Amino acid sequence: MPQPTPAQPEDAPQAAAAPLTPAEVTAVRADFPYLERPARNGEALAYLDWAATSQKPAAVIAAEADFYRRSNGAAGRSTYQLADEATAALEDARDAVAGFVGARGSQLVFTKNATEAINLVALAIGHASLGRPAGHGGSASATDASARLRIGAGDEIVVTVAEHHANLVPWQELAARTGATLRWLRLREDGRIDPGAIGAITDRTKILALTHASNVSGAITPLEEILPAARSAGALVVLDTCQSSAHLPLDFAALSAVGVDAMVLSSHKMLGPTGIGALVATEELLDAMPPVMTGGSMIETVTMESSTYMPAPARFEAGSQPVAQAVGWHAAVDYLAGLGMDRLHATEQGLLERALRGMAEVPGLRILGPAQAAGRVGVVAFTLEGVHPHDVGQVLDAAGVAVRTGHHCAQPIHAHFKVPSSARISFGPTTTPEDIDRFLAAVADVRGYFQR
């Protein structure tokens, strides 16, 4: 695996990151066991579904397995050696994942996935709106802080038409429960957020929940244009980084400085295991949020009449934690850091340009999203005239090319493009120009296959 690029002094000019060299990509591919098995057609698999779930390097698989072999114990629940090792592994993983995105360990709450992380915030706001304090019997200051989260009739929640259902449905439910009004930022024809729609953020806006990069159009949200309005309104900002964290370097400290209160992460899209995600949030927000899941490990004192709760992040981590998955995620972010997210992004930009250029030449193919690589990540949804996306996926699979088909848990943006579903390619660290060329050759033959 390539070694990390030495950090530059803070005052040094930042040169554009260099893409991974072909030799480096070859070395990376050797780290991924999935490439050892052939595709359905007997050839090497061109895996182009990283936006749905990433493949795992051997280091991640080994880290999780090694934890079970050597250090499995009840994390946070005893003082024997295995338990101490499990506890240390969990907290080391917390610090590593948080540090990878420019946050502190005290700002990261482990969840089972990013969807749960968004629901955690939405449900906590709902509890606060009912007057439940963060400490549930704790200090008066915690009660006062939770007042910021209270929402009701006359208040507004703003999302965008580009959202994954995980960052839309929880807010629909919160609006229904509290009487708040749900509004949304509309999109331009190419799927980017319309700058003229920012006026939907007003002094009534209490929450702004938006994607950092669309899982359909690939468009990167222009936060610099949107956040000033949210900050002026005093709105709580929740950022879905499930796609951007897999493609771009992130810095939560910088994001929080310009108005982002929370962001969510998904391990399995970042080379890590399934079954674990995270909420990363400011200490102010975490201190204000009342607990949602209750039970063991998140309590201070329990009597038959009442309970008091631990400070964040423990307050939001009831029950046994996915320690082995956290260990695997730790290995994943170490691996990504070794590659360099800026270099990965530069590599993907070259692949994206190649794909967009080739797709534009395929008769009947429509790209759902911007036609240029600038301002987008390596995610491209498309349709083929006269062919259902599922049929597209099956023909590509027969050619050894794996893509996603369906509505990608994002029906509103498909409605914006006036299609019910699409096929989608997306890139990861093992993707090569040859993978792109195999896809282009196979997709160019799809319509002809159905006309034979």
User: Which residues does the annotation mark as catalytic?
Assistant: 409
**Tokens, residue 344:** 């990965």
- Quote the CA–CA distance of 442 and 452 in Å, as a whole number: 15
Q: List phi, psi (to 5°) of 265.
A: -130, 150
Give the relative orientation of helices 169-178 and 114-129 as an angle to the nearest 10 degrees: 10
Torsion angle in degrees (nearest 10) through CA of 316, 299, 133, 104 = -40
Q: How far is CA 430 from the centre of its chain?
A: 19
- Quote the CA–CA distance of 89 and 60 in Å, as a whole number: 14
Give the Cβ contact number of residue 116 at 10 Å.
21
**Tokens, residue 408:** 């990608």
- Helix, strand, coil share (%) of the chain residues, nearest 5: 45, 15, 40
Pairing of strands 262-266, 404-406: unpaired
Helix (H) or strand (E) run with residue 331 in it = helix 323-339
- Quote the CA–CA distance of 192 and 134 in Å, as a whole number: 37
**What residues pair up with 382 in beta bridges, in sequence order?**
367, 423
- Quote the CA–CA distance of 34 and 64 in Å, as a whole number: 17
- Quote the CA–CA distance of 285 and 289 in Å, as a whole number: 6
- Quote the CA–CA distance of 448 and 452 in Å, as a whole number: 6
Through-space distance between the first and last CA atoms of the chain, rounded to whole angstroms? 46
Give the Cβ contact number of residue 296 at 10 Å.
12
* 390 within 8 A of 370, measured Cβ to Cβ: no
- Quote the CA–CA distance of 203 and 71 in Å, as a whole number: 52
Q: Work out the angle at residue 400's Cα, subtended by the Cα atoms of residues 430 and 23, and round it to the nearest 5 degrees.
A: 25
DSSP string, 21-90: PHHHHHHHHTT-GGGGSB-TTSSB-EE-BTTT-----HHHHHHHHHHHHHT---TTS--SHHHHHHHHHH
